[in-house]
C-alpha cells in the first residue's frame, strides 16, 4: 500500500509559520532597515523578551538569518551579530550572482512560457507604479520576486538552487543597493531594459542587462555607505 493511501484528504497538514519563522521575519525587517546595523550584537535574552518568545524559537530565528547571510555566529561565546561583509567580499559574491542571473535571462528567453514572461512584466509594472507607496522592505520584496521569477523561468533546477544560496548571502546588500535614492531612476531603467529583452526573447540582451544590473549594485552599495556616513557626520555636528 502506498503511504498516501493511508491518509485521508483532511489529514494533510496546513503550512503555518512557526514562532521561529515569525521572529525571523521581524528581525529580518529590522536588519534590512538598519534598526540593527551591520556589526551590531544581537542580545538573545532581550530579543526573546521583546518578541514575547522563549530562547528556543529565537535561536531558530537566528539560525534562519545565519543561513540567509544576514547574521553571523562567532566568538568564544558563539554570540550572534548582524553580518558586516567587506565591499570586496560583496563584490565577489555579486559577480557570481550576476553570472547566474545573466545565464537565467539567457535560458528564460529560450525556455519560458509566454505566461511566465508576462508575470515578470507585471511585477516590473507593479514596482514602477507602486514605488512611492510601498514601504522600502515591501518594494524590495517585490524586486527580489522579480529576479527570482526570471531565474525560475529559466527552467534549470541547478541554476535555481545555486541562485537561492547566493541570493540569501546577498539579501541585505541587495536591499541597500535597491534603496539608494540617487540611483533609483537608473535601477528602474535597468529593470525595463531586462523586461524588454525578455519579452523580445533577446537572450544576449537579457543576459547583458542582468549582468550590468549586478555590476551597478556594487557602485550603489558604495554610494549608500558614503551617504550614510555623511548623514551620521551631520547628525554629530553641534547645533
| Same domain (yes/no): 38, 56 | yes
| Same domain (yes/no): 105, 172 | yes
Q: From the CB of residue 23, how many other CB atoms can be counted at a distance below 10 Å? A: 24
Provide the domain limits for residue 67: 13-82
In tens, the pLDDT along 98-155 reads: 999 999 999 999 999 999 999 999 999 999 999 889 888 888 889 999 999 999 999 9
**4 found inside a domain:** no
| Same domain (yes/no): 47, 107 | no
Q: Return the SS3 of 78.
A: coil
* DSSP state string for 177-223: HHT-GGGHHHHHHHHHHHHHHHHTT-HHHHHHHHHHHHHHHHHHHHH
32 φ, ψ to 5°? Answer: -65, -35
In tens, the pLDDT along 170-225 reads: 887 888 777 765 567 778 899 999 999 999 999 999 999 999 998 888 888 777 77
Question: What's the CATH code of the domain at 139?
Answer: 1.20.120.530
| Same domain (yes/no): 65, 172 | no
Q: Which residues are CB-neighbours of 176 under 8 A, at least 6 positions away? A: 220, 221, 224, 225
**38 found inside a domain:** yes
- Contact between 41 and 2 (Cβ < 8 Å): no
> Model pTM?
0.74
- Contact between 160 and 152 (Cβ < 8 Å): yes
d(CA 42, CA 26): 13
Question: What's the CATH code of the domain at 65?
Answer: 1.10.10.10
| Same domain (yes/no): 58, 128 | no
Cell matching residue 103: 545565464
**17 found inside a domain:** yes
Counted domains in the chain: 2
Amino acid at each position: 500500500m502506498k503511504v498516501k493511501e493511508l491518509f485521508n484528504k483532511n489529514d494533510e497538514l496546513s503550512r503555518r509559520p512557526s514562532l521561529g519563522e515569525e521572529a525571523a521575519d521581524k528581525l529580518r525587517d529590522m536588519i534590512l532597515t538598519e534598526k540593527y546595523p551591520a556589526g551590531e550584537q544581537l542580545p538573545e535574552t532581550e530579543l526573546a523578551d521583546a518578541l514575547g518568545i522563549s530562547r528556543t524559537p529565537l535561536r531558530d530565528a537566528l539560525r534562519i538569518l545565519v543561513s540567509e547571510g544576514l547574521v553571523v555566529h562567532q566568538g568564544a561565546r558563539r554570540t550572534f551579530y548582524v553580518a558586516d561583509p567587506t565591499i570586496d567580499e560583496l563584490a565577489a559574491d555579486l559577480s557570481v550572482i550576476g553570472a547566474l542571473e545573466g545565464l537565467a535571462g539567457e535560458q528564460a528567453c529560450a525556455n519560458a512560457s509566454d505566461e511566465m514572461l508576462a508575470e515578470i512584466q507585471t511585477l516590473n509594472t507593479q514596482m514602477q507604479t507602486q514605488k512611492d507607496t510601498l514601504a522600502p522592505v515591501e518594494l524590495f520584496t517585490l524586486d527580489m520576486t522579480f529576479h527570482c521569477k526570471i531565474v525560475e523561468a529559466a527552467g534549470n533546477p541547478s541554476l535555481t538552487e545555486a541562485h537561492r544560496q547566493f541570493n540569501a548571502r546577498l539579501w541585505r546588500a541587495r536591499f541597500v543597493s535597491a534603496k539608494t535614492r540617487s540611483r533609483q531612476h537608473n535601477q528602474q531603467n535597468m529593470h525595463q531594459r531586462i523586461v524588454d529583452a525578455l519579452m523580445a526573447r533577446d537572450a544576449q540582451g537579457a543576459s547583458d542587462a542582468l549582468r550590468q544590473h549586478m555590476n551597478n549594485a556594487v557602485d550603489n552599495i558604495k554610494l549608500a555607505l558614503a551617504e550614510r556616513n555623511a548623514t551620521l557626520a551631520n547628525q554629530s555636528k553641534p547645533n
